[in-house]
Amino acid sequence: MFTTPDLCDDHPDEVRVLQPQLRTFGGREAFCGPAVTVRCFEDNSKVKDLVGTPGEGRVIVVDGDGSTAKALLGDVLAQKAADNGWSGLVVHGAVRDAEILRTIDLGVQALAATPLKTEKLGVGDVDVAVTFGGVTIEPGEWVYADANGVVVAAGPIHA
C-alpha cells in the first residue's frame, strides 16, 4: 500500500501535489489509478456516463470549476462507480449524500457537500487536460489520494 507522504519522499521529482482543498467523503480513504478526466460545470451527465462503464481501477478526475452550488456526484452514481470497478473520484466541486458516500467502497475527494443535484444537459468534455489545485492532470496520468492529500505522477510509482 502507499501513502502520499511516502510517495512524495520517495519520488520528489516525479510527483505534483494538489493544493490542500479537498475533503474525503468516500468509504475508501486511500485510492489510486490512471486518470480519466472530465470537465463540466454544474452538469454531471458525463460523470453519469463514465460510472456506468468498466472502471478497471481507474480514477475519475472531475473539474467542476470549483462550483459548490450543485453536486456532481451522489450516492446512486457513487454506488454505480464502485460496482463497476472504479477506484475513486477526485471532484473539484461538490458532492451530495455525504452520509451515504461514507458507506460505499469507493474513494471520493471533493471540495464540499451540497444537497442540490445538477442539471442533465449532456454538457462537458471527457479525456481533456484539467487544471485545479495548482496542478494540470492529463488523461492517463496516475492519481494517488489518501487522508494527506492528492498527488499526480506521469505513471505508476507505488510498489
pTM, rounded to two decimals: 0.97
Tell me how far apart the alpha carbons of residues 89 and 78 are, in angstroms, rounded to a whole number. 9
Tell me how far apart the alpha carbons of residues 63 and 83 are, in angstroms, rounded to a whole number. 23
Domain count, the chain: 1
- Classified as helix, coil or strand, 4 is helix
pLDDT at 147: 96
Q: Using one digit for the tens of pLDDT, what is the confidence trace for 77-115?
A: 999 999 999 999 999 999 999 999 999 999 999 999 999
* Residue 158 within a domain: no
Cβ 153 vs Cβ 144: under 8 Å: yes
Q: What's the CATH code of the domain at 77?
A: 3.50.30.40
Tell me how far apart the alpha carbons of residues 99 and 151 are, in angstroms, rounded to a whole number. 26
Range of the domain at 51: 22-141
Q: Provide the CA 37 distance to its chain's centre, in angstroms.
A: 9
* Residue 30 within a domain: yes
* Residue 17 within a domain: no
Instruction: Tell me the residue type at 49.
Output: D
